[in-house]
């Protein structure tokens, strides 16, 4: 593992293999007798490594990179050695109480509402495996709250009479896990087009809710975004919160990537209005140096969450010894009964770096992002698609989607760097995400790769565009250059 970390910069970032490459090299059945450790490790190098995508490389700029700081790796290793399954407080008290403390620490670091603290009365935070799980749990909790409310007003209604009419809302820029959560929860979802800032328009949201109410449906949930995946755009929490308050619907904020920046005071303006939300989720494993997996979900009222998730069994109902108290059991907060000791790696990182160390890391990443932004702005062939706020730079060549799709393919096939594209309001966008503490000269290197790929694509080796020929005219140094497309 140590040798791998030392050689990351010299490795091809993305593998050049085809589907089935690994299965062809492995036996069809498990060995009857055990093999030596040396033989197994030799196959790691010979068989696995050629197919590895090196997410931890300082030249990997795709998706949002998961962290793997040394203290986090050690926390994960220690968790594996301890080997417990923390489904209840009684199953391992340290698991539960460290998790409660760590989620509280993050509330204070991020500047989130005090109602999210354990001991605040009703609220608290819990660690999940990922955003999709946290999102689904928030939808289910909101569904439970709405069903209880309507059954109290209309006792004659069956639960299915209510759930069949429930409608959730999100934007076209929101992560697909919002739609997946609604699908799993068996509720309808409205995906609302974003405005020119790639944000969910409050007026459009209110209009959609009004239309659904007039149709006899029950609006119950809004999933807003703080730092969207395609371009890192931000929804206006205060304005959306006012709509949710007026319409009495559950307000959830997905801040999977961007919330980590809240450790820096200068970015806390991004959560203006956060006191109006019912639940909030983020992935410290994206930008807080924690290795995958670790997502935190906070709720202001754990009652609906517990009720929607609670299933009791005699072998899980032990009471704490002192005063016959019943402490927090996170099995009522999550889908899975068994739970890893994820709080351990969070504890190790927060103590090793401290708030100041994490602030330094975030600020350095943002500085590197602005450096790459400057490179883009200096080349008239390119444009920035959305304002660079944190560590994501969304950019494109001035031209149509086919041109930019070809550029992304050209860059990634080189294996020199890796970035991921996306669609933003119909535009094909290249995303350069900086979440790595090891980047130094790699930003300059990344720009050189992008610039060379554009030169090769446009002037030296014209290539057939993936979506068919184009009639693009590229403006460079004040002159027009037609882009010729050849087979």
Tens digits of residue pLDDT in 63-73 = 898 888 999 99
Structural domain of 21 = 2-54
Distance CA 417, CA 9 (A): 10
Is 80 within the bounds of a domain?
Answer: no
SS3 381: coil
Distance CA 95, CA 90 (A): 10
Please say which residue of 275, 307, 341 terminates a domain.
Answer: 341
Distance CA 389, CA 9 (A): 27
Query: What pLDDT band is residue 168 in, cutting at 50, 70 and 90?
Result: very high
Residue whose token pair is 């589907």: 19
Is 244 within the bounds of a domain?
Answer: yes
Is 76 within the bounds of a domain?
Answer: no
Structure tokens at 289: 């140096």
Q: State how beta strands 420-424 and 427-433 pair.
A: antiparallel
Query: What pLDDT band is residue 313 in, cutting at 50, 70 and 90?
Result: low
Query: What pLDDT band is residue 285 in, cutting at 50, 70 and 90?
Result: very high
Q: How wide is the angle at C-alpha 261 spanned by C-alphas 68 and 132, nearest 5°?
A: 65
CA distances from 458 to 270, 325, 381, 397 (A): 39, 71, 10, 10
Mean local confidence (pLDDT), 420-437: 92
Is 70 within the bounds of a domain?
Answer: no
Question: Does 149 lie in the same domain as 118?
Answer: yes
pLDDT at 323: 47
pLDDT at 278 over 50: yes
Domain containing 27 — which CATH number?
1.20.1340.10
How remote is the C-alpha of 166 from its chain's centroid? 26
Domain containing 152 — which CATH number?
3.40.640.10
Structure tokens at 367: 């500085």
The three-state (H, E, C) secondary structure of 21-65, written as one string: CCCCCCCCCCCCCCCCHHHHHHHHHHHHHHHCCCCCCCCECCCCC
Question: Does 369 lie in the same domain as 329?
Answer: no
pLDDT at 318 over 80: no
Question: Does 282 lie in the same domain as 213?
Answer: yes
Question: Does 330 lie in the same domain as 375?
Answer: no
How remote is the C-alpha of 226 from its chain's centroid? 10
Question: Does 396 lie in the same domain as 325?
Answer: no
Mean local confidence (pLDDT), 85-103: 88
Q: Which string of b and e fits 106-119 if b means at least 16 CB within 10 Å?
A: bbebbebbebbbbe
Longest dimension (CA), the chain: 82
Query: What pLDDT band is residue 436 in, cutting at 50, 70 and 90?
Result: confident
CA distances from 233 to 227, 393, 394, 422, 482 (A): 5, 11, 10, 13, 33
Is 290 within the bounds of a domain?
Answer: yes
pLDDT at 230: 94
Continuous segment of H or E residues that includes residue 399: none
Query: What pLDDT band is residue 367 in, cutting at 50, 70 and 90?
Result: very high
The residues facing 418 across adjacent strands are 60
pLDDT at 473: 35
Residue 184: which residues within 8 A CB-CB, separation 6 or more? 136, 139
Domain containing 429 — which CATH number?
3.90.1150.10
Q: What is the DSSP letter of 51?
A: G
Query: What pLDDT band is residue 325 in, cutting at 50, 70 and 90?
Result: low
pLDDT at 483 over 50: no
Question: Does 302 lie in the same domain as 389?
Answer: no
CA distances from 345 to 44, 270, 402 (A): 26, 27, 43
The answer to which of 50-54, 222-226, 279-283 has the lowest mean pLDDT is: 50-54
pLDDT at 166 over 90: yes
pLDDT at 486 over 60: no
pLDDT at 90: 80
Please say which residue of 341, 369, 395 terminates a domain.
Answer: 341
The three-state (H, E, C) secondary structure of 218-255, written as one string: EEEEEEEEECCCCCCCECCHHHHHHHHHHHCCEEEEEC
Residue whose token pair is 């500047």: 111
pLDDT at 299: 95
Share of the chain above pLDDT 70, in %: 91
Cβ atoms 290, 345 nearer than 8 A: yes
Distance CA 284, CA 353 (A): 14
The answer to which of 111-115, 279-283, 309-313 has the lowest mean pLDDT is: 309-313
Mean local confidence (pLDDT), 441-448: 91
Query: What pLDDT band is residue 462 in, cutting at 50, 70 and 90?
Result: very low
Query: What pLDDT band is residue 114 in, cutting at 50, 70 and 90?
Result: very high
* Domain count across the chain: 3
Strand segments (E) across 315-449 = 382-384, 392-397, 420-424, 427-433
Question: Does 164 lie in the same domain as 47?
Answer: no
pLDDT at 487 over 50: no
Question: Does 175 lie in the same domain as 139?
Answer: yes
Distance CA 194, CA 174 (A): 10
Query: What pLDDT band is residue 316 in, cutting at 50, 70 and 90?
Result: low
Is 63 within the bounds of a domain?
Answer: no
Question: Does 370 lie in the same domain as 465?
Answer: yes
pLDDT at 269: 97
Mean local confidence (pLDDT), 17-32: 92
DSSP string for 248-304: T-EEEEE-TTGGGGGGSGGGGGGGTTGGG-SEEEE-HHHHSSPPS--EEEEES-HHH
Is 31 within the bounds of a domain?
Answer: yes
DSSP string for 357-369: HHHHHHHHHHHHH
Please say which residue of 287, 316, 341 terminates a domain.
Answer: 341
Share of the chain above pLDDT 90, in %: 71
pLDDT at 354 over 60: yes
Mean local confidence (pLDDT), 155-162: 88
Question: Does 458 lie in the same domain as 409?
Answer: yes
* Average pLDDT value over all residues in the chain: 88
pLDDT at 43 over 90: yes
Question: Does 138 lie in the same domain as 166?
Answer: yes
pLDDT at 103: 96
pLDDT at 319: 57
The answer to which of 155-159, 366-370, 395-399, 478-482 has the lowest mean pLDDT is: 478-482
392-397: strand order across its sheet: 382-384, 392-397, 427-433, 420-424
Query: What pLDDT band is residue 404 in, cutting at 50, 70 and 90?
Result: very high
Question: Does 336 lie in the same domain as 355?
Answer: no
């Amino acid at each position: 593992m140590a040798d791998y970390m030392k050689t990351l910069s010299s490795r091809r970032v993305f593998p050049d293999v085809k589907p089935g490459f690994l299965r062809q090299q492995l036996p069809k059945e498990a060995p009857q007798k055990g093999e030596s450790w040396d033989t197994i490790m030799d196959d790691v190098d010979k068989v696995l490594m050629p197919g590895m995508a090196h997410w931890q490389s300082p030249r990997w700029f795709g998706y949002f990179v998961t962290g793997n700081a040394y203290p986090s790796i050690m926390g994960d290793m220690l968790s594996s050695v301890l080997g417990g399954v923390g489904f209840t407080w009684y199953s391992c008290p340290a698991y539960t109480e460290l998790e409660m403390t760590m989620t509280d620490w993050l509330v204070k670091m991020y500047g989130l509402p005090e109602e999210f603290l354990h001991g605040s009365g009703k609220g608290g935070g819990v660690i999940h495996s990922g955003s999709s799980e946290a999102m689904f749990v928030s939808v289910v909790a909101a569904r439970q709250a709405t069903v209880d409310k309507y059954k109290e007003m209309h006792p004659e209604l069956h639960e299915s009479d209510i759930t069949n009419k429930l409608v959730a809302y999100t934007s076209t820029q929101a992560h697909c896990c919002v739609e997946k959560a609604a699908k799993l929860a068996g509720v309808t979802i409205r995906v609302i087009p974003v405005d020119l800032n790639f944000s969910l328009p409050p007026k459009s949201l209110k209009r959609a809710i009004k239309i659904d109410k007039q149709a006899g449906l029950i609006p119950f949930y809004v999933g807003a975004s703080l730092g969207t995946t395609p371009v890192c755009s931000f929804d206006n929490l205060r304005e959306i919160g006012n709509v949710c308050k007026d319409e009495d619907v559950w307000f959830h904020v997905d801040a999977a990537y961007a919330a980590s920046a809240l450790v820096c005071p200068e970015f806390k303006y991004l959560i203006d209005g956060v006191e109006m939300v019912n639940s909030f989720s983020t992935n410290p494993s994206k930008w807080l140096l924690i290795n995958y997996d670790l997502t935190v979900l906070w709720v202001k009222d754990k009652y609906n969450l517990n009720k929607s998730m609670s299933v009791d069994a005699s072998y899980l109902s032990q009471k704490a010894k002192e005063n016959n108290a019943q402490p927090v059991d996170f099995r009522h907060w999550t889908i899975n009964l068994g739970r890893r000791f994820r709080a351990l790696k969070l504890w190790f990182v927060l103590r090793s770096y401290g708030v100041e160390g994490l602030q330094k890391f975030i600020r350095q990443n943002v500085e590197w992002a602005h450096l790459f932004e400057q490179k883009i702005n200096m080349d008239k062939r390119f444009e920035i698609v959305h304002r660079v706020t944190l560590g994501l730079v969304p950019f494109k060549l001035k031209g149509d989607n086919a041109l930019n799709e070809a550029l992304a393919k050209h860059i990634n096939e080189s294996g020199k760097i890796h970035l991921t594209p996306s669609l933003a309001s119909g535009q094909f966008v290249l995303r350069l995400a900086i979440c790595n503490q090891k980047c130094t000269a790699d930003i300059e290197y990344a720009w050189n790769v992008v610039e060379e790929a554009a030169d090769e694509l446009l002037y030296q080796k014209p290539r057939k565009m993936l979506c068919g020929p184009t009639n693009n005219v590229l403006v460079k140094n004040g002159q027009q250059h037609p882009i010729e497309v050849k087979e």
